Amino acid sequence: MDTELVTDGATDDVTGSTDGTDTRFTDTIRITRQGKLRVWVKKALDFFQAYPDKPLVLYSSPSNVTTSTIPRMVSVVEIIKREYLKGLDVSAGNLSGLHQYNRLLFERREEIPVEDGDNRVNALLLALDGHSHVKQIFAPHMKITLSVKAIPDMHEKRETYQTPAMRRISKTAKARMRRLVKNQSEN
């Protein structure tokens, strides 16, 4: 059974498998308005250290546009990508960041007047006859998938793709690495 972490945003409550396995890591993190950015970033970086082959999905819940957590989630993802690049081992030669797949979704919500008896029937008929349209509300939410390796199946779906950032090494760091390799080969 896969281990699962559910962070409710406000606290660090963890729920997971009941078979006694490690419940600190998951495939998903939900971003809320109450949570701490540093907690989500730490959990994501720990996840990529423990499971480099598994993708991580960050998602927001459907809500009104004014209370949307999409901007907050984008900030968290950008911080995760930046910190992941900083933590890469330069000597290993791996300088590629995280692949990012974005999917913008919406949930359609309709408000229908709720009244009793004949008034309800008349209100529904009035809303549906074309004079007064039913108010439709779209609640946006987003899912962002981060992975160390490209996921070929994700390109076929209706998702946008962002290539991983590459870590650049300064000339002095390259020279330092060459000297280190040369000194190690002489010994």
Per-residue pLDDT, averaged over 62-88, amounts to: 87
Q: pLDDT at residue 132 above 70?
A: no
**pTM (predicted TM-score):** 0.68
**Would you place residue 8 in the very low, low, confident or very high pLDDT band (cuts 50, 70, 90)?**
very low
Q: What does the chain look like in DSSP terms, one character per residue?
A: --------SSS------SSS---S--SEEEE-SSS-HHHHHHHHHHHHHH-TTS-EEEEE----GGG--HHHHHHHHHHHHHHHHHTS-TTTT--B--EEEEEEEEEEEEE-----HHHHHHHHHHHHSSSSPPEEEEEEEEEEEEESS--HHHHHSS-EEEPPPB----HHHHHHHHHHHHHHHH-
Per-residue pLDDT, averaged over 95-115, amounts to: 78
pLDDT digits (tens, 9 = 90+) for 18-71: 333 344 445 899 998 888 999 999 999 999 999 988 999 999 988 776 677 899
- Looking at residue 170, its pLDDT comes to 78
Per-residue pLDDT, averaged over 78-82, amounts to: 95
Q: pLDDT at residue 10 above 80?
A: no
